[in-house]
Amino acid sequence: MRIDELLKGAIQRLYSISETAQLDAQLLLAHVLAVSTSYFYTWPEKEVSAADISRFNGLLERRESGEPVAYLLGQQSFWSLNLEVAPCTLIPRADTERLVEVALSVLDIGDVNRILDLGTGTGAIALSLASERPRSTVVGVDLVEESVALAKRNAIRNQLSNATFIQSSWFEALEGNLFDLIVSNPPYIDPDDEHLSQGDVRFEPKSALVADNHGMADIEYIIQVAPRFMKQGAYLMFEHGYDQAIAVQTCFVEAGFIAVESFQDLGGNDRVTIGRLK
């Protein structure tokens, strides 16, 4: 079967379950054929072998069941990086790049800083900051051992030597350490949120998504404990839900932080809130 015929059928199959059916189909076929998606526009008439069609159909079936494309490919682009992804942790999303942008805005490029990423997952945030601030050192922690191993592989994959990753339940393994900046994309979804049964998140670990107290429990804990691990004047910042900015700001103020401010994502939703230690 020709490439263009194969893609046309695949797009039709995915149309009802994905808003990006064409892109999904192209990415999956490019993965099978080990080519870039631009190849399809140059060689649409190329014949695809029976073995590759079989592999492609297998991936399409998994996508039809709702499995995220990133898990099917085993990788995801984030910031300037290409990251290995796995079902042990969340898939990095474009909204989280806003947290990276805000973090970089408080870090002068020539300064030597110590940065902590809590709940690092794939290492996306930590490695993005490490790549943009090479004189700084970044520590990423995660409760899940498999995620720590994944983040370490991503550091090697992206040739970044100024980021290290350790297993820790939040600050548990960090006694005696002080940081200039702490960032986190913690679990912040209400356990009763109906979106947990929809789309890609059905395949992602609930422990990385859900927090008690309407999604605020982990954010509240981090704000209370973080000052013990922050240098004077250091920043703490979170990614959070679109409707949680006021609650997060309140927690910061009640804990004595100053310069509390929220920033919007590309969709115009409050997505990142920061505070500075007096």
DSSP characters over 258-278 = EEEEEEE-TTS-EEEEEEE--
CATH 3.40.50.150 residue window(s) in the chain? 86-276
Superfamily (CATH H level) for 86-276: Vaccinia Virus protein VP39 (3.40.50.150)
Please report which confidence band the pLDDT of residue 182 belongs to, taking 50, 70 and 90 as the band edges. very high
Residues 183 and 128: beta-carbon distance below 8 Å:
no
The C-alpha atoms of residue 97 and residue 239 are separated, in whole angstroms, by 10
CB 243 within 8 A of CB 262: no
Tokens 């422990």 locate to 207
Is 198 a residue whose pLDDT tops 70?
no
Mean predicted confidence (pLDDT) in 100-107: 96
Cβ atoms 78, 128 nearer than 8 A: yes
Superfamily of structural domain 3-65: Ubiquitin-associated (UBA) domain (1.10.8.10)
The phi, psi pair for 193, rounded to 5°, reads -65, 125
Determine the pLDDT at residue 111: 85
Choose between 163 and 190: higher pLDDT.
Answer: 163
pLDDT at 207 over 90: no
The pLDDT of residue 205 is 67
| CB distance 180 to 113 below 8 Å | yes
Count of CB atoms situated within 10 Å of the CB of 28 = 24
Tokens at 276, concatenated:
């500075």
Q: What is the reported pLDDT for 139?
A: 98
129 closest CA partner among 156, 97, 92: 97
The position carrying tokens 């069941």 is 65
- Answer yes or no: is pLDDT of 195 > 80: no
pLDDT: is 208 or 88 the higher one? 88
CA dist list (Å): 172 to 142, 148, 183, 222, 246: 10, 15, 16, 11, 28
Token code pair at residue 266: 């590309």
Domain with CATH 1.10.8.10 in the chain: 3-65
107 DSSP assignment = S
d(CA 138, CA 145): 18
For 49-82, how does the pLDDT look when each residue is reduced to its tens digit (9 = 90+)?
999 999 999 999 999 998 999 999 999 999 999 9
Angle (nearest 5°) at CA 102 between 96 and 107: 130
Higher pLDDT, 118 or 192: 118
Look up residue 87 and give its amino acid: P
Task: Provide, rounded to the nearest whole percent, the portion of the chain with pLDDT above 70.
Answer: 92
Sign of the Cα pseudo-torsion (152, 153, 154, 156, in order) = positive
